[in-house]
């Protein structure tokens, strides 16, 4: 037996601290559970008093945000437990025990506390918009009202999984070119600071007229050596200015428009937004949320301002009696013609959610294929960049040497 210092929570969310003898954390949790307490944390009580050593892992776990994966597993596990016959409160207690994120544990406990006070599940989620967004809350609200909460939670988990998979594919595709570009600039900076100054003295000693490429190389090297603070300050200023532009609505809109026009990447961003738009809207409509409200929610979860503006416009004009396919047809620059046609068929047949889901699967598969082939497309471009980089250095250094040999 050892004396353990513990923190636990009551059913109403109140925190309780104390000390108790137990062989391990698991037996302590079982004993406290019989008293209506949920163990949150336990540690040996005979630790030295005074300054407490900082557990870096614990500190990071407390400040890190609740990830999309954690929210996905929360919805999926909750759906399974409720379908198995567990009451919602007991399912939430089990979710607290399963979660390894202290911040998420605290939020689930707050949700559990609100439910025990008589609030609905959806109303209990609303005070935590950074973890449970409007899409999450509204679908849960409809699920509770219709008695299909397990189905709605499963749809939410599936939607988050698809969203996570799409993001992971795009990030993975961007990793290779990003590393190569950073390596090029890094190696170039190192050569400018440490290699070129030594070669510059040798080249100047030859006494020949230097070509403009060599002069540019030496001038750049001198600037980086003696004015490195200006370079660092300039980079910080550029990053800050870029951040401010993205924070400004007009600047963000312009940036998003430029991204969509970029070769290769513009098509990928378009497919990602179309996949997210069609799947989110399909799930909202399938859950029983009216199409106007579904469009408003979908607009808020889209990252690209051009798509967000178009979907918001659609929500407003549908209230005037217009068809969704007619509104999307005006934005063929961002909505693929196939989307317009499939939506039209869905509206005519009354199966718009099925059509949107088929579109989502098509665009998700297209994103998957594009990201797989992206390295094949980008690799020749990167090779050309590296070749141009090496050729510039070689010509700048060798040209004056060959020139001096010709004068002998």
Q: Taking 90 as the threshold, does the pLDDT of residue 359 lie above it?
A: yes
pLDDT at 60 over 70: no
Higher pLDDT, 271 or 26: 271
Q: What is the mean pLDDT of the chain?
A: 83
Residue identified by tokens 């961002």 is 334
Q: What is the pLDDT of residues 283-294, one digit of tens each?
A: 888 888 889 989
Beta bridge mates, 3? 21
pLDDT tens digit string along 138-160? 888 888 888 888 988 998 898 88
| 399/213 Cα distance (integer angstroms) | 9
Give the range among 53-62, 160-169, 268-277, 322-331 with minimum mean pLDDT: 53-62
| Per-residue pLDDT at 136 exceeds 90 | no
pLDDT at 54: 45
CA distance 136 to 251: 29
What's the pLDDT band for 183 if we cut at 50, 70, 90? Answer: confident
Angle between helices 149-190 and 134-146 (to 10 degrees): 170
Q: What pLDDT is stored for residue 53 in this prediction?
A: 45
User: Which of 16, 9, 32, 25 is closest to 89 using CA atoms?
Assistant: 9
- Residue 406, pLDDT score: 59
């Amino acid at each position: 037996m050892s004396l353990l210092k513990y923190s636990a929570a009551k059913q109403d969310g109140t925190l309780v601290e104390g000390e108790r003898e137990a062989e391990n954390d698991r037996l302590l949790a079982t004993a406290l559970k019989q008293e209506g307490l949920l163990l949150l944390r336990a540690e040996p009580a005979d630790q030295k008093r005074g300054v407490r050593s900082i557990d870096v892992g614990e500190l990071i776990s407390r400040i890190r945000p609740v990830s999309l994966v954690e929210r996905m597993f929360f919805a999926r596990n909750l759906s399974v437990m409720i379908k198995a016959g567990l009451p919602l409160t007991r399912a939430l207690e089990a979710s607290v025990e399963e979660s390894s994120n202290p911040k998420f544990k605290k939020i689930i406990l707050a949700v559990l506390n609100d439910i025990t006070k008589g609030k609905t599940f959806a109303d209990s989620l609303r005070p935590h918009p950074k973890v449970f967004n409007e899409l999450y809350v509204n679908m849960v609200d409809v699920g509770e009202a219709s008695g299909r909460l397990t189905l709605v939670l499963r749809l939410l988990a599936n939607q988050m999984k698809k969203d996570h998979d799409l993001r992971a594919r795009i990030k993975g595709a961007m990793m290779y070119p990003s590393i190569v570009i950073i390596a090029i600039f890094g190696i170039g900076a190192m050569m400018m600071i440490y290699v070129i100054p030594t070669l510059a003295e040798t080249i100047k000693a030859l006494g020949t007229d230097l070509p403009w490429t060599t002069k540019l190389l030496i001038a750049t090297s001198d600037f980086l050596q003696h004015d490195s603070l200006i370079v660092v300050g300039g980079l910080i200023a550029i990053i800050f200015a870029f951040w401010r532009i993205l924070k400004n609505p007009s600047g963000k809109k312009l940036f998003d428009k430029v991204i969509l026009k970029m070769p290769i990447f513009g098509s990928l961003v378009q497919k990602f937004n179309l996949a997210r738009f069609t799947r989110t809207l399909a799930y909202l409509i399938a859950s029983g949320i009216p199409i106007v409200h579904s469009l408003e929610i979908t607009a808020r979860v889209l990252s690209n301002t051009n798509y967000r503006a178009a979907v918001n416009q659609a929500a407003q004009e549908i209230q005037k009696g217009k068809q969704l396919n007619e509104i999307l047809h005006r934005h063929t620059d961002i909505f693929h013609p196939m989307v317009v046609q499939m939506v039209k068929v869905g509206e005519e047949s009354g199966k718009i959610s099925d059509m949107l889901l088929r579109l989502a699967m098509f665009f998700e598969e297209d994103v998957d294929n594009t990201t797989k082939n992206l390295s094949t497309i980008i690799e020749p471009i990167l090779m050309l960049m590296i070749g141009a980089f090496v050729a510039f250095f070689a010509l700048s250094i060798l040209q004056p040497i060959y020139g001096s040999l010709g004068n002998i």
